Structure 1
Amino acid sequence: MRTVGVEEELLLVDGSTGVAMALAPHVLRPFGDEVGDDDDGEEVGGSVVAELQREQIETDTPPLESMAELAAELRSWRRTADLAARAAGARVAALAIAPLPVQPTTAPNARYEQMVERFGMSASDLLICGQHVHVQVDSADEAVAVLDRIRVWLPTLLAISANSPFAHGRDTSYASYRARALTRWPLSGPTDLYGSAQAYEQMIADALATEVLLDDGMLYFDARASRRFPTVEVRAADICQDVSDAVLIAALCRGLVETAARDWTAGHPAPPAPTRMLRLASWQASRHGLEENLLDPDSHRPRPAGEVLAALVAHVRPALEDSGDLDLVRDGLAHVTERGTGARLQRDTLERNGDLAEVVAAAARRTAGQE
């Protein structure tokens, strides 16, 4: 069975005011890692490290086969991060964008400082948190074949995870404003079809030859082949407030990767969806989450979100049955559909309390498993 590891980017916030706090160096001291880098180091999971801004940190799990074990790891690392944040006078909150106004502070890292120098406000003002799922693959050829075949489903994962409706103290009108904020990078979002590992490597070489990007760590696509590990890294999702939602996303990612690999082995071609249609699907998912129509991955026409979710489950069902994740996915999707996405949780909290500080406080409690 393919292993899965999850990276979670978490905000550091004042538990009373809800404002993001630039305390990452203090929070990270117990872990001996006050700096960080997108693709630096060789550790395989189980750490707390810095991110682009001092108002955030990142945790990661080791690669695991069991979704129950993955859930336990995520809860453990969230508790560990929250205890360290509390010791520094903050809390961690699984929010994909800071709801209240903040001027981010770049982490003390040479690469991050280069990014700010090169990209200006696109980097210096960016404070977003995602969930990145690493799913094991057996070769570079398989990785690229998987990327070509999962791309049509990644907007659906974004819709399920949508958790960033507020930014700068305002309602953005989006379920995932993080997805819109990511588009400020030169290369982000949906990708073209590659066709082969050679073509994928040529894409990277051509991108770096422009001298626009600092390095290949700046391929901020919805999914990419990891340069550090033998994995496909799915990056489409917002960070999820509830660990059960994060595990749902991870299980769906493994199901998609396994299904894609089987289709490739069987000689089935990748869906020939134009990238422009996937961008439209991603916009629709970020705008509405699961509360309006999504774009159907085959026809690229509006379709009720529930029907698209059912089509996703049908697509990956054999893989989910083999991994034992089918009931987990069905129950998880039913729960998200009934309760609402993280964006709906945030808006419901604001409607009840009229205070974005309480939106952040509620998210911090949910992140730590306290509600």
Structure 2
Amino acid sequence: MGVEEEFLLVDEEGAPRAVAAAVLQHASAQDGDDDPDRPGGALEKEFAEEQVETSTHPCTDLGDLLEQVRAGRWQADASARHAGARVAALATSPRTADPTVVLNRRAQDIAAVFAQTARDQLTSGCHVHVEVADDDEGVRVVDHLRRWNPVLLALSANSPFWHDEDSGYASFRSQIWGRWPTAGPTAPFGDAATYRETVDGLVASGTILDAGMVYFDARLSVRYPTVEVRVGDVCLDPADAVLLGALVRALAETALGPDTDLGPQPRTEALRVATWRAARSGLDGDLVSPLDGRPVPAGEAVAALVRHVTPALAAAGDLAWVHEHLAALLARGNGASQQRRWRHEGLGTADLVRRAVERTHA
């Protein structure tokens, strides 16, 4: 498994800074020891000049993954400092910003085609990759994840503020992101052939530029032999990103178990409602139950997910770690809860962003 994280580049007043090119240049000059044939590890550009993306190498151990997540954040921040900025794990900017699209032909084409949707995309996500043997195995994992993705979103929610206002959502990033024509939950595919036909049809429609713009909540990676789960906000705390990784891997292992019956699949309309509910209230209200579609307290939905994957977590040696870190997350709240708590304590926007920078590197 591996984790990709997108971050905001901010100045001392908490405003986004369009300095990604300088940050990446500095990072490239420092990066002389990494294996170029090993996936992950490098700092990369994002859609806007106010963002950068880190990625871990593939790994199997949660401790190793946490070390890599922390190292990626530290290295990104070190290069950002050379450009007069800091790295903040905020899924939306609390300050009003006018994003600057990177000087890249594909990004410029996307900006031209998608207009305001593209102009609003100063959003940062957390993407978890889990290895699969082939596309058919991957599609089984994608289909299995459908009912559980809203719970993953609620755990990661970290974007309550938008344009200097409280949006009322725990994850407003998911609302902005959902404007892309391919974003969100999907119907079950059943097999790799159906998945490929669906993607080919979306590209053939002329609406999206290429298969890289297939932004499903969970998809087959276009670069690696993995399932890529894209539903989450970037997490404020590094351990929360690792928790997502552990849960996604356990869901994948559960999906591929010989005794797993996917059973009747929920309708996509129901999943859209469950995803909206998770974005709205995060962990601070009811979620839609992944099991029967009824409202339940968020803690019950999370507990149902953990029960579902407990055998896989135990087999991987991850169960105790997940219980410990999940208890810590539920006690302090996700990123959205923490940001709102800081606001209620009286922090202004600049101080709130500075506090977020500190938590990013906790």
Give the 5 Å matches for 1:322-361.
322-361=315-354
What is the identity percentage for the equivalent residue pairs of Structure 1 and Structure 2?
Answer: 46
Matches within 5 A, 1:89-108: 89-108=84-103
CA distance in 1, matches of 2:149, 2:9: 28
| Residue of 77, 84, 92 corresponding to 2:79 | 84
Aligned length: 356
Q: Does 1:5 align with 2:2?
A: yes
Query: Partners of 1:94 and 1:354 in 2: how far apart?
Result: 17
Aligned-pair distance for 1:221?
Answer: 1.1
C-alpha distance in 2, partners of 1:271/1:60? Answer: 35
Structure 1 vs Structure 2 CA RMSD: 1.3
The AA in structure 2 aligned to 1:8 is: E
Q: Which amino acid aligns with 1:219?
A: V
Decide whether the 8 Å contact of 2:202 with 2:208 is kept in 1: yes
SS at match of 2:345: helix
AA partner of residue 180 (structure 2)? W
> 8 Å contact 2:120–2:176 — kept in the other structure?
no
Deviation of 1:32 (Å): 3.4
Amino acid at match of 2:107: Y
| Cα distance in 2 between the residues matched to 1:43 and 1:329 | 27
1:173 aligns to 2:168 (yes or no): yes
TM-score between both structures, scaled by the size of structure 1: 0.94
Shift of 1:261: 1.2
Supply the distance in 2 between the matched residues of 1:334 and 1:266 (Cα, whole angstroms). Answer: 29
**Distance in structure 1 (CA, Å) of the matches to 2:37 and 2:184:** 26
How much does 1:267 deviate? 6.5
* Residue identity matched to 2:74: R
**Equivalent in the alignment of 2:32:** none
Q: Is the 8 A contact 1:148 1:270 kept in 2?
A: no
Match of 1:22 among 18, 36, 49: 18
State the secondary structure of the residue aligned to 1:184: coil
CA contact 2:170–2:281 (8 Å) conserved in 1:
yes
1:353 CA drift (Å): 2.6
Q: Partner letter of residue 234 of structure 2?
A: I
1:93-242 correspondence runs (5 A):
93-242=88-237
Q: 2-side partners of 1:48 and 1:267: how far apart?
A: 38
Cα distance, 1:200–1:313 mapped onto 2, change above 3 Å: same
Question: CA deviation digits over 1:44-63, x for unaligned, max 9?
Answer: 10000110000000000100
Task: Tell me the alpha carbon deviations over residues 96-140 of structure 1, each in whole angstroms, 9 at most, x when there is no partner.
Answer: 001100000001111000001111111122100000000000111
Equivalent of residue 269 in structure 1, options 258, 262, 274: 262
Q: Distance in 2 between matches of 1:237 and 1:300?
A: 21
Letter in structure 1 aligned against 2:105: A
**CA displacement at 1:166 relative to structure 2:** 0.2
Q: Which runs of 5+ in 1 are unaligned?
A: 34-40
Task: Report the Cα offset of residue 156 of structure 1.
Answer: 0.1
Summarize the alignment of residues 35-54 of structure 1 with structure 2, pairs less than 5 Å apart.
Answer: 44-54=39-49
| Structure 1 position 168, deviation (Å) | 0.4
Gaps of 5+ in 2: 30-35
Deviation at 1:42, TM superposition (A): 7.2
TM superposition outliers: structure 1 runs of 4+ over 3 Å: none
Question: 3-state SS of the aligned residue for 1:47?
Answer: coil
